[in-house]
Amino acid sequence: MNSIGRHLIMTCFGESHGRLVGVVLDGCPAGLPLKEGDIQRELDKRRPGLSELYSSRAEADKVEIISGVFRGYTTGAPICMVVKNLDVDSSVYEEYRFKPRPGHADYPAYVRYGGFNDYRGGGMFSGRLTIAYVMSGAVAKKLLSTIGIEVYAHTVQIGPVKLDRKPTLEELRTKVYASPVRCVDREISEKMEAIIREVKSRGDSIGGVVEGLAFNVPPGLGDPLFGSLDGDLAHLLFNIPAVKGVEFGAGFRAATMKGSEFNDQYVYRGDRVETLTNNSGGILGGLSNGMPISVRVAFKPTPSIAIRQRTVDLREKVDTFIEVKGRHDPCIVPRAVPVVEACIAFTLADHCIGLGLIPKVLGRKS
Amino acid sequence: MNSIGRHLIMTCFGESHGRLVGVVLDGCPAGLPLKEGDIQRELDKRRPGLSELYSSRAEADKVEIISGVFRGYTTGAPICMVVKNLDVDSSVYEEYRFKPRPGHADYPAYVRYGGFNDYRGGGMFSGRLTIAYVMSGAVAKKLLSTIGIEVYAHTVQIGPVKLDRKPTLEELRTKVYASPVRCVDREISEKMEAIIREVKSRGDSIGGVVEGLAFNVPPGLGDPLFGSLDGDLAHLLFNIPAVKGVEFGAGFRAATMKGSEFNDQYVYRGDRVETLTNNSGGILGGLSNGMPISVRVAFKPTPSIAIRQRTVDLREKVDTFIEVKGRHDPCIVPRAVPVVEACIAFTLADHCIGLGLIPKVLGRKS
Amino acid sequence: MNSIGRHLIMTCFGESHGRLVGVVLDGCPAGLPLKEGDIQRELDKRRPGLSELYSSRAEADKVEIISGVFRGYTTGAPICMVVKNLDVDSSVYEEYRFKPRPGHADYPAYVRYGGFNDYRGGGMFSGRLTIAYVMSGAVAKKLLSTIGIEVYAHTVQIGPVKLDRKPTLEELRTKVYASPVRCVDREISEKMEAIIREVKSRGDSIGGVVEGLAFNVPPGLGDPLFGSLDGDLAHLLFNIPAVKGVEFGAGFRAATMKGSEFNDQYVYRGDRVETLTNNSGGILGGLSNGMPISVRVAFKPTPSIAIRQRTVDLREKVDTFIEVKGRHDPCIVPRAVPVVEACIAFTLADHCIGLGLIPKVLGRKS
Amino acid sequence: MNSIGRHLIMTCFGESHGRLVGVVLDGCPAGLPLKEGDIQRELDKRRPGLSELYSSRAEADKVEIISGVFRGYTTGAPICMVVKNLDVDSSVYEEYRFKPRPGHADYPAYVRYGGFNDYRGGGMFSGRLTIAYVMSGAVAKKLLSTIGIEVYAHTVQIGPVKLDRKPTLEELRTKVYASPVRCVDREISEKMEAIIREVKSRGDSIGGVVEGLAFNVPPGLGDPLFGSLDGDLAHLLFNIPAVKGVEFGAGFRAATMKGSEFNDQYVYRGDRVETLTNNSGGILGGLSNGMPISVRVAFKPTPSIAIRQRTVDLREKVDTFIEVKGRHDPCIVPRAVPVVEACIAFTLADHCIGLGLIPKVLGRKS
């Protein structure tokens, strides 16, 4: 249940306020050059900056590679990577133990685990577990780069503010992490920041949308039925906490479209088959069609808000109120961007290994 | 790749124009009363009626239970169920063999399977494979009924026409399949029919949205991380051909909401914990919270249209045109309704068996 | 539970006295030439001949390929194959319904499935289910033959009669199925036949040992830890009914050996690394080492015997007696030979696909 | 590939000479009291004592529980447990890098991983990885104890010295770990010790057999076909390095038996169904039958011997010689005893959780 993938498999462990968050990545081909810096670069994209836009929990999030790498190369053995929790303050959580925070997993987790779950900081349900996804995704991105596949994600909406145009590949490569909200357009980015500041000032939070894109994906990637690329991507993306919707290409807009509008018609560009439009988001029948894969992921507003809300006392069995303290991001979206990126990279790498596009051994050690 | 589920597992096989479509359902508890009529009732919901709204392919879609049932009860052995293909006309497909139909899986499947795939009627990529989901879902619904869980789906949008209100439980129980487009509201239903007739008259097609709902789901169903209820539901739902988006509760609307609006606040209703709103669609942290599960599924317009489209000739490597013949539904949505229902039922039954809410043996034979 | 394999996956269904026995084989590469004759040839090896050495149940065991093959080639879609049960006589089984036959699964199955299991002919626990293994193995053998791997099995022991020498490759290719007991040595074969006739004449049965061998297996096949070649082989072999032991190479004899005797020392034969002995049976650390894989499989005597035995009446809860009627092989070993062969072939093909030694598409269709 | 189990799942990582050996145990019910001492007690059984019978590598093998336990109880989250490697001396292994040690995985691993595998101390192929099995088994034993199942293992053969009688339950409970070779019979134990000393004095090694036993296993445990209890046990047991054979009950002796001798006849003992003999080793048709489960596991002699052996130089492609240095157990059997115990406990706990015999939550926290 805490493992995902068919050929490249990640098994996550750890808790928000426990000792660490970790992942065991199984099935990574041998011979991939890998150092902690490769992982750290991706983790740093997920770290909150020194800004009022983010949580004040000050975690260095330093990765340690525990196994599976020997003298700078992956060995084919499972790669264990961990990030220690250093700045933990669990004091506020005793209050919530029997008073579930609205929008969090507290109540169903209490029922599911009979009260034995680690409720501090959400325990295993915390967004902090996405560190594991990012670590796996970092390895996946290195694997994909050996065959030229590039994966990006960026913020396209925060509350009512939307990026309505398509980003260029150049913007995706250079502008995303230059923006504190991970939006490639400077003006839009500033409006998004303003929204976050505003909701934060009122003790509130806000949702948004992240778009993920993958380029140079060869056609024919994916397996029929339950090994479809979109099914596998959605499966993993919905396991990012706070995700409430996933759509590919035209997505929900497809509902209003006619076949003559939606269908992506084929043409040759030199030897290469392309489509005139990309309403299918690069996936047909669960298989990549050679066009960029595009997926949009809707995030709900951070559930932890300072505003008074109704809740119940599960021990006393009475109605009560709660004001959620602790250190929280007023908008989860900017920090979710590298997580979406990681999930896409992981899923694509899993399929590329499965189809033999990435071999089981990269080169031969001399 | 053609199997899904952890405790209740379905393995699908067959092709659109092959001998049959079948499923092996593994992990079904012993002792469930099961007869072909139970399956047939669900299959009949998926069959095209005698109407211009549907494809003219006239399949009886009669189920045969091949194994796993003995004297009216499931035995605990795998249940194989099949539906034969009777009204097959593959003549038109020779033309498309090297001319991929836009919007279909033809092109990536040709690449993926080296031209060996059965291209007649889309082969294993055909929507006809959803017969397997419906057969499994029929068993799942019987399993869920033993613990009071009810699953419904209905059409909420076709093209621009939307059902903007919540259906009552009574409507879901009695009105869905009384409507040719599976919409509970008669007036809206008629508008939807009109839209379909209109696009059909022009050789075109149209998309739409199906909403799925599950009632009486106990809180705490689901597993952490990759066994989450929403991840599992989305995984299966995206494996229904033509699905381009899946959202739970407020879904993409959550992106524009503040935490103070989105969060579902808790109250006691007698002994039962409920929430004042259901923006989370009954799922928090991947676990059910006891409220109705609600999911919306966006379908693209049927790719097969009579209108001339650009495509390529993969053998000659030149651009060309195509007008897709054959018998197709101008809108897939009405027929997708029982499929969405089946997918939800299957996923919930899988989790209920996993948690022991549905035991491995139902009663004891005397 | 009724599926096995990681890249090549078989899902079995059916019962001894139900309509049929079938298998869905998933993950078979596209482009393999496959016709029913390929499967039938292997099934025929498993069929009881017209001899007193075998059960008198007269099944033609004719295979039908239901899906996954199109115009003589595999398509990449799941291959469903079935064999109908024609000569079914369930009359004797009513007596055993609450009187478990010693040595059969009757009693634990009754407990496990609450009395709902199909008890006729052992239901899903019948050796007849191995038809599914043989059908899958037939496809696997064709896959392996594309890279030169050959798999054989033969009888090395029945009761006290043993074949004490190593068979030649030529004998394995031509002599096994010429012997009614599947023993390559004519003299030993006759002694084995005599033993079987003798126990049969007394209403009794006898056990034996089958040896499986695979040649031309490249070194390095297998995955670490739980994907080991020997672990996977044993897992499947123990799922052949009546198997009580599995050993590789020197097997249990290794317990009495010193390292200096057991270790297979390396030498170059031209460019090829070989070992002077093969006590490891071609597997080291779960990986093939390039030497022939050899495994020995111990079978218990057929549990169905005409001799009076003690048993219990589960309904009356009293001790009683039983004399098992029905049509049974007095020794299961000869018919198990092609099953062992099939299991080895299946497991090797699964690993070869996983490592990319057998590609996902065999050739390209013109 | 480094994960095993269906409901209780262990994922192993680490290397012999890397930083540590670890395991992530997923699916453990919430509410099990668990402390490091529970794990340490089992690990201590596996540690080499201060004796010439064992390797001189002096590892404390101290367990650390990293996740999944909160205030003394399992939380339902994955349990990560690690043991650090402290006494590592990799100096000798440089010599073996291109000179594979006979009997070890060196050569096939070199081929499989293109020379990138961590060859120090066998890397991930080392017997040291069985620490992960023992840690998981320790948790499994605690789970099993909640329903009264007891699991034991003991040495029944080292070289030519055999324990020919059945041990009593009392002996299994108290005598196994009092013997340095893990044999319940003092006299036999001393003979076994003498054998080990003798082979060691000559730089040689010796094999042996471990018997595993499980008591109070309820009838009906196991799943049909590929979820059989014996198949699952064998799968895991063959993943203990150096195992060459596994047999249940009469095992290979069954080959020489008649049905009338082998069949375990049923009788009532009060309300309980028992069998007069236990040739089936407690398993029929893959299901437990309520009698003690008995399995025998053959271990080859330790491959590392000081005696000169032939090998090859893979870089120079010439024949050469090797004398294996390093610190090795002259007989692996005594240290394998707790590993066999762990593997049996793990597999039984996995099945008990799957069938709901051990619930997903043990009690409810107040």
Spans of chain B, pLDDT less than 50: none
- Which of B116, B199, B226 is most worth mutating to test chain A (most A CB atoms within 10 A of its CB)? B226
Q: Which amino acid is at B283?
A: I
* Residue where the block lists tokens 């009614």: C180
User: What's the pLDDT at A366?
Assistant: 61
* The pairing of beta strand A20-26 with beta strand A79-84: antiparallel
Classify residue B85: in a domain, yes or no: yes
Helix-helix angle A333-354:A229-237, to 10 degrees: 140
Q: At what angle do helices D333-354 and D130-145 cross, to 10 degrees?
A: 50
- Alpha-carbon span C10 to C168, nearest angstrom: 31
- Would you say residue C362 lies in a domain? no
Paired residues of A297 in beta bridges: A210, A246
* pLDDT(A52) > 80: no
Confidence of residue D107 (pLDDT cuts 50, 70, 90): very high
Q: Which domain CATH number covers A195?
A: 3.60.150.10
DSSP C235-303: HHHTTSTTEEEEEETTGGGGGG-BHHHH---EEEETTEEEES--TTTTEETTEE-SSPEEEEEEEPPPS
Phi-psi region of C265 (alpha: psi -120 to 50; beta: other; left: phi over 0): beta
Question: Does B321 contact chain A (CB < 8 Å)?
Answer: no
Nearest CA in chain B to D359: B356
What is the model's pLDDT at position C50? 61
Q: CB count, 10 Å around CB of C178? A: 12
Does residue B207 contact residue B300 with C-beta atoms inside 8 Å? yes
Tokens of A29: 């081909």
Of the partner residues D78, D115, D116, the one whose CB lies closest to the CB of residue A74: D116
pLDDT at position D59: 83
Classify residue D364: in a domain, yes or no. Answer: no
| pLDDT, tens digit (0-9, with 9 covering 90-100), for B98-121 | 999 999 999 999 999 999 999 888
Burial class (CB in 10 A: 0-12, 13-18, 19+), B97: middle
The predicted complex's ipTM stands at 0.97
**Closest C-chain CA to A29:** C355
- State which amino acid sits at residue D190: E
Q: Does C87 score more than 90 pLDDT?
A: no
C333: helix, coil or strand? helix
Give the number of other CB atoms < 10 A from CB of residue D47: 17
Q: Quick check: C18 and B112 CB within 8 A?
A: no
Single-letter amino acid code for the residue at C199: V
The rounded distance, in Å, linking the Cα atoms of A218 and A233 is 16
Residue A363 lies in a domain: no
A266 membership: H or E segment, kind and range: strand A266-269
Confidence of residue A212 (pLDDT cuts 50, 70, 90): very high
User: Between vectors from CA A125 to CA A123 and to CA A128, what angle results, nearest 5°?
Assistant: 80
Q: How far apart are CA B107 and CA B97, in angstroms?
A: 9
What average pLDDT does the segment D10-37 reach? 97
In this predicted structure, the answer to whether residue D93 has a pLDDT above a threshold of 90 is no
Tell me, yes or no, if B76 comes closer than 8 A to chain D by beta carbon.
Answer: yes
> What is the pLDDT at residue B326?
72
Q: How does residue A75 score in pLDDT terms, banded at 50, 70 and 90? A: very high
What pLDDT digit, counting tens, does each position of A283-307 carry?
999 999 999 999 999 999 999 999 9
- Measured CA to CA in angstroms, residue C225 lies from A45, A314, C172, D126, D299 at distances of 35, 45, 32, 10, 17
Residue type, B262: F
Q: Are the C-beta atoms of residues A241 and A106 closer than 8 Å to each other?
A: no
Distance (Å) of CA C157 to CA A213, B74, C182, C303: 62, 40, 10, 18
Q: Which of A99, A141, A145 is nearest to A119 (CA)?
A: A99
E-strand spans in chain B?
A: 3-4, 9-14, 20-26, 63-67, 69-70, 73-74, 79-84, 150-158, 161-162, 208-215, 243-248, 266-269, 272-275, 283-284, 287-288, 293-299, 309-313, 318-322
Classify residue C33 by its DSSP letter.
Answer: B
The tens digit of pLDDT for each residue in C163-180 reads: 999 999 999 999 999 999
Greater model confidence, C144 or A325: C144
A312 secondary structure, DSSP code: E
Which has the closest alpha carbon to D209: D294, D119, D102? Answer: D294
Q: Name, in order, each residue with C-beta under 8 angstroms of C321's C-beta and a sequence gap of 6 or more.
A: C308, C309, C310, C311
Cα separation, C32 vs C5, whole angstroms: 19
Given the structure tokens 């992956």, which residue do they identify?
A: A74
Q: Which of D28, D32, D26, D20 is nearest to D64 (CA)?
A: D20
Kindly tell me if the per-residue pLDDT of D266 is higher than 80. yes
Q: Helices (DSSP H) in B19-118: which residue ranges? A: 36-46, 93-96, 106-112
pLDDT digits (tens, 9 = 90+) for A319-358: 999 999 877 889 999 999 999 999 999 999 999 999 999 9
Pick from D256, D264, D313, D333 the residue to mutate for testing the C interface (most C CBs within 10 Å).
D256
Q: Which of C112, C164, C307, C351 to mutate to test the interface with D (most CBs of D within 10 A)?
A: C112
- Chain D: closest CA distance from residue B31 (Å): 15
Structure tokens at B40: 């047939």
Q: What is the CA radius of gyration of chain B?
A: 21
pLDDT digits (tens, 9 = 90+) for A165-175: 999 999 999 99
CA dihedral D89, D91, D92, D98 (to 10 degrees): 130
| Residues in B touching C77 (Cβ below 8 Å) | 2, 13, 15, 117-118, 123-124
Which tens digits make up the pLDDT trace of A104-114? 999 999 999 99
- Quick check: B19 contacting C, CB < 8 Å? yes
Partner residues linked to A321 by β-bridges: A310
In this prediction, residue A68 carries a pLDDT of 97
Residue B363 placed within a domain: no
Contacts of B363 in chain C (CB under 8 A): 114
Tell me the C-alpha to C-alpha distance, in Å, between residue D7 and each of A113, B235, D58.
Answer: 16, 20, 35
- Residue A302's alpha-carbon distances to B167, B300, C310, in angstroms, are 29, 31, 68
Judge contact between A285 and B241, C-beta under 8 A.
yes
- Euclidean distance between CA atoms A99 and D319, whole angstroms: 72
Residue C25 with chain B: CB contacts under 8 Å: none
Q: What is the pTM of this model?
A: 0.97
Q: Nearest 5 degrees, angle CA A301-CA A307-CA A312?
A: 95
Position A50 pLDDT exceeds 70: no
d(CA D215, CA D282): 10
Instruction: Tell whether D103 is within 8 A of chain B (Cβ).
Output: no
Q: How do residues D190-205 score in pLDDT, each as one tens digit?
A: 999 999 999 999 999 9
Please check whether residue C68 touches D, CB under 8 A: no
The subunits that touch chain A, with at least 3 C-beta pairs less than 8 Å apart, are: B, C, D
Please state whether D125 falls in left (phi above 0), alpha (psi between -120 and 50) or beta: alpha
Percent of chain B topping pLDDT 90: 88
Lowest mean pLDDT among A185-189, C58-62, D225-229: C58-62
The pairing of strands D79-84 and D20-26 is antiparallel
For B245, phi and psi rounded to 5 degrees?
-155, 150
Read off the pLDDT of each residue in D308-329 and give the average, rounded to a whole number: 93
Q: Are A238 and B230 in contact (CB under 8 A)?
A: yes
The DSSP 8-state label assigned to residue D113 in this structure reads T
Tell me, what's the pLDDT at B175?
97
Would you call C68 an interface residue with chain B, using a CB distance cutoff of 8 Å? Answer: yes
User: Which alpha helices (H) appear in C18-96, and where do they start and end?
Assistant: 36-46, 93-96
- HSE-up of residue A70 (Cα within 13 Å, Cβ side): 24
For chain A, percent of residues with pLDDT exceeding 70: 99
3 state SS for D211-252: EEEEECCCCCCCCCHHHCHHHHHHHHHCCCCCEEEEEECCHH
List the one residue out of B234, B341, B237, A224 whose CA is nearest residue C24.
Answer: A224
C224 touching A (Cβ < 8 Å): yes
Kindly state whether residue B361 falls inside one of the protein's structural domains: no
Q: Does residue B73 belong to the interface with chain C, where contact is any CB pair within 8 Å?
A: yes
Q: For chain D, give the percent of residues with pLDDT over 70.
A: 99
C-alpha–C-alpha distance, residues B324 and B342, integer Å? 30
Give yes or no for a contact between A102 and B266, defined as CB atoms under 8 angstroms apart.
yes
Classify residue B359: in a domain, yes or no.
Answer: no
Q: pLDDT tens across C52-83, in order?
A: 787 777 788 999 999 999 999 999 999 999 99
Share of chain A above pLDDT 90, in %: 88
The torsion defined by the Cα of B341, B342, B343 and B344, in degrees rounded to 10, comes to 50
* Number of other CB atoms surrounding residue D187 within 10 Å: 9
- Report the number of distinct structural domains present in chain D: 1
pLDDT value for B59: 83
Q: What is the pLDDT of residue C259?
A: 97
Q: pLDDT tens for residues C25-47?
A: 999 999 999 999 999 999 999 98
pLDDT category of residue D94 using cuts at 50, 70 and 90: confident
CB contact C259 to A (< 8 Å)? no
Name residues whose C-beta falls within 8 Å of residue A318's C-beta, 6 or more positions apart in sequence: A312, B268
Q: What pLDDT was estimated at residue B87? A: 81
Nearest CA in chain A to B271: A317
Tokens 């006691």 belong to which residue? Answer: B268
B191 within some domain: yes
Q: A305 — contact with chain B (CB < 8 Å)?
A: yes
- Say whether pLDDT at D259 is over 80: yes
Q: Which chain B residues contact residue A231 at CB under 8 A?
A: 234-236, 238-239
Domain range enclosing C178: 3-354
Size of interface A-C (CB pairs under 8 A): 11
